[in-house]
Amino acid sequence: MKALPLSLLLVCGAALADDQAILACRALPDGGARLACYDAIQVAARPGGTAARSAAAAPAPAMAPAPAASHEASFGLEAAKRREREPDAIASTIPGEFQGWGPGAQIRLANGQVWRVIDGSEAVLPRMRDPKVRIERNLFGTLFLKVEGTNNSAKVRRVQ
């Protein structure tokens, strides 16, 4: 039974990497250079062994200059950056007489934009003439049309 723990210890020892090389890689600020540094570390290095000496003797890869507007660096941030440039809400009016909406209704605003109700909601409102409306973006980026003077709102998507 003593042979099993000893063999596990030998297998684990073979998986050790050189701590100095790992620390040198960890200090690199550029992600690509850091990854290349980690890839260059010999996994089977043992303290004091030839692989450990060659990894320690090899200089860490030079930092490559990061591109100013890398597509990888901005991956996943496109929508967030777009939202930063856009307002959180717009205000306009619905020209003419307005009495509410139903599922799939298209609502044309005085500014020329056309919005479609996409949440299946409906609202029967008292007859209004040129009501003021706001299209507001919530925390998750969902857009809602709100008619001034009412508690009703509809989830909308711009179609024109």
Mean pLDDT of all residues belonging to the chain: 77
Is 129 in contact with 148 (CB distance < 8 Å)? no
Q: What are phi and psi of 93, to 5 degrees?
A: -135, 160
Please enumerate in sequence order all residues whose Cβ is within 8 A of that of 64, keeping only pairs 6 or more positions apart, or say none.
Answer: 30, 32, 33
Q: N- to C-terminal Cα distance for the chain?
A: 76
Quick one: angle between helices 19-26 and 50-57, nearest 10? 30
Question: How does DSSP assign 103-152, residue by residue?
Answer: TT-EEE-TTS-EEEE-S---EEEEEEES-EEEEEE-TTS-EEEEETTSS-
What pLDDT score was predicted for residue 4?
57
Q: What is the pLDDT of residues 89-135, one digit of tens each?
A: 999 999 999 999 999 999 999 999 999 999 989 999 999 999 999 99
Question: Which tokens in the block code for residue 61?
Answer: 């890869």
Question: CA 92, CA 132: separation in Å to the nearest integer?
Answer: 6
Q: Which pLDDT band, with edges at 50, 70 and 90, does 71 fall under?
A: low
Domain ranges in the chain?
11-57, 85-158
Question: CA 79, CA 43: separation in Å to the nearest integer?
Answer: 40
What pLDDT score was predicted for residue 14?
46
